[in-house]
Chains A and B, each alone.
Chain A
Amino acid sequence: SSELTQDPAVSVALGQTVRITCQGDILRKYYASWYQQKPGQAPVLVIYGKNNRPSGIPDRFSGSSSGNTASLTITGAQAEDEADYYCNSRDTNSNRYVFGTGTKVTVL
């Protein structure tokens, strides 16, 4: 089955910008959605489709895609953005979904 690869961890200074990437061949055909998960909590959808934010998600979160890579950018990171982030997309050749390996974001 297909895979989505993310960097295990990234850090960002408070107020600065961080980009989290997700790589996989399936992203050449389908958009990724992005989820934020804080310790002990359920995931929360932050970006879906081309670059759509659900109601209540701050506009410092944005998404983009190019080739086999999808990116989630946090512009002006806040302390409350410290969390694990996962990408997700449907598989190209089957009616299944795949999650990325996850990225732990630390806000310094």
Chain B
Amino acid sequence: QVQLVESGGGVVQPERSLRLSCAASGFSFSSYGMHWVRQAPGKGLEWVAVISYDGSNRYFGDSVKGRFTISRDNSKNTLYLQMNSLRPEDTAVYYCAAGEWFDSSGYSYWGQGTLVTVSS
């Protein structure tokens, strides 16, 4: 069955870095656009970033642009989010999601999320 499993979350100090991973299985990973979506405690969903199926195009939300980088390794069926210069407001559960590439097809598959806490 389809699985997306995030890892790499934890507690990190402000201005430090953290890399999240998302391991995919059960579907053709290299055929899907991949997203990161986050949710601060008690808040709504916020779109973070997207990468095309082949990694050639990447786009970011305003709040993370210039600090976060998204990448993928299709040989390992894995998606990454490199988060630099972290701020307390980056504290959230981070979900990876598969699907949509600007075609209104939606995010078909979601991981269970990994919690990132930015605190001194």
Measured CB to CB, the residues of A under 8 A from B are 1, 30-31, 33, 35, 37, 42-45, 47-49, 54, 84, 86, 88-90, 94-102
Please pick, from A48, A54, A89, A99, the residue contacting B45 in the complex, using a CB distance under 8 A: A99
**Least distance between A22 CB and chain B CB atoms (Å):** 12
Question: How far apart are the CA atoms of A86 and B107 in the complex, in Å?
Answer: 12
Q: Is the CB of A102 within 8 A of B44?
A: yes
Given contacts A42-B112, A44-B110, contact A33 B104 (CB under 8 A): yes
Please pick, from A31, A49, A99, the residue contacting B46 in the complex, using a CB distance under 8 A: A99
Given contacts A43-B95, A95-B59, A97-B50, contact A33 B106 (CB under 8 A): yes
30 CB < 8 A contacts A-B: A31-B104, A33-B100, A33-B107, A35-B106, A37-B45, A42-B95, A42-B112, A43-B37, A43-B95, A43-B97, A45-B106, A47-B106, A48-B105, A48-B106, A84-B44, A88-B47, A89-B104, A90-B100, A90-B102, A94-B59, A95-B59, A96-B62, A97-B50, A98-B47, A99-B37, A99-B47, A100-B44, A101-B44, A102-B44, A102-B45
Q: Is the CB of B46 within 8 A of A45?
A: no
**B108 at the binding interface (Cβ < 8 Å):** yes
Q: Is the CB of A1 within 8 A of B106?
A: no
Question: How far apart are the CA atoms of A44 and B45 in the complex, in Å?
Answer: 12
Please encode chain B, from 44 to 73, with 1 for each CB lying within 8 Å of some chain A CB and 0 for all others: 111100100000010111100000000000
**Least distance between B115 CB and chain A CB atoms (Å):** 12
Q: Is the CB of A96 within 8 A of B59?
A: yes
Beyond A49-B106, A54-B108, 5 additional contacts (C-beta under 8 Å) are: A86-B45, A95-B50, A96-B60, A97-B61, A99-B37
**Least distance between B71 CB and chain A CB atoms (Å):** 17
**Least distance between A44 CB and chain B CB atoms (Å):** 7
